Structure 1
Amino acid sequence: MQPASSCACGAKPRFVFACSGAADVGAVADLAARRLSADGTAAMFCLAGIGGRVPGILKSVETASAIAAIDGCPLDCAKKTLEQAGFTGFGHVRLTDLGLEKGHTPATDEHVAQAARAAAALFAGERP
């Protein structure tokens, strides 16, 4: 698979956003998004730029063929940030729905891989 950040002659980008919060599940969400970006599944993009309504970032995301948000907990900060900026129809995975527990889920390779698989499934049109 070609990395999401490279040009593929007219291919629209796929973006992944992570809550990247202070809790352990936020760290897992962040690392999972980074893994998806590194393996070419989707380009990790700046959620703070969405929240800050940075015009260039908003314009780039409007061109996406697919968007996924990874939230660590039921506060759904990534999902809400995207929605408040007007983005809809994107995939969403909440790590606590996968059995990861806020405050008790260290950012191990196993937890990151589990989160990355769930988010990658969204891009494949599957349910996590």
Structure 2
Amino acid sequence: MSSNCCRPAAMPLILACSGGSNVGQATNQVALELTREGRGKMFCLAGLGGDIAGIIKTVREAGETDGVIVLDGCALGCAKGIMERAGLPLGTYLVATDLGIEKVKDSQLLVRQEDVDKLKAAAIGGARA
């Protein structure tokens, strides 16, 4: 019998760009939806950028156990840069625009559910089981 038969399923941390465009907001929406569905736990990317020791430690430990999903909106790679600056591995890394989701800078930050669904499926598919 496996020694981890009664351990809860892996719960990856989700770090989302949440930037000021539709694709950044789509990554935020994906993190919210995956958290609500119990497929991961949204976590504080800003805390990593702020060099908060406890947050860095939590993300490092998650990367060694349950996994980390990092979502960037576009090729600027702000979330990736924050992870690298903190010395943390990316784990599952996705960029919304790499999935064919067009970045639109507008005052209404229109996030289309079909874009959220596409990014969410890719995030689920790339995460450790």
Where on the TM-score scale, by shorter chain, does this alignment land: which range? 0.7 to 0.9
Q: Corresponding residue for 1:111?
A: 115
1:19 aligns with 2:17: yes
Q: Which runs of 5+ in 2 are unaligned?
A: 1-5
- Partners of 2:22 and 2:14 lie apart in 1 by 19
- Amino acid in structure 2 at the alignment position of 1:116: K
Moved more, 21-30 or 103-112: 103-112
Conserved in 1, the CA contact under 8 Å of 2:69 and 2:90? Answer: no
Per the TM alignment, residue 13 of structure 1 is displaced from its structure 2 partner at its CA by: 4.3
> What SS does the aligned partner of 2:71 have?
strand
Conserved in 1, the CA contact under 8 Å of 2:71 and 2:94? Answer: yes
Q: How many residues align?
A: 118
1:25-58: CA deviation from partner (whole Å, max 9, x where unpaired): 1011110111111111110100000000111111
- Amino acid in structure 2 at the alignment position of 1:100: I
Larger radius of gyration: 2
* Aligned-residue RMSD, C-alpha: 2.1
Scaled by the length of structure 1, the TM-score of the pair is 0.82
Q: Corresponding residue for 2:58?
A: 60
1:5-31: CA deviation from partner (whole Å, max 9, x where unpaired): xxx857764111110000111011110
1:65-91: CA deviation from partner (whole Å, max 9, x where unpaired): 211111110001111111110111511
Per the TM alignment, residue 62 of structure 1 is displaced from its structure 2 partner at its CA by: 1.9
Q: Which runs of 5+ in 1 are unaligned?
A: 1-7
Scaled by the length of structure 2, the TM-score of the pair is 0.82
Q: Corresponding residue for 2:82?
A: 81
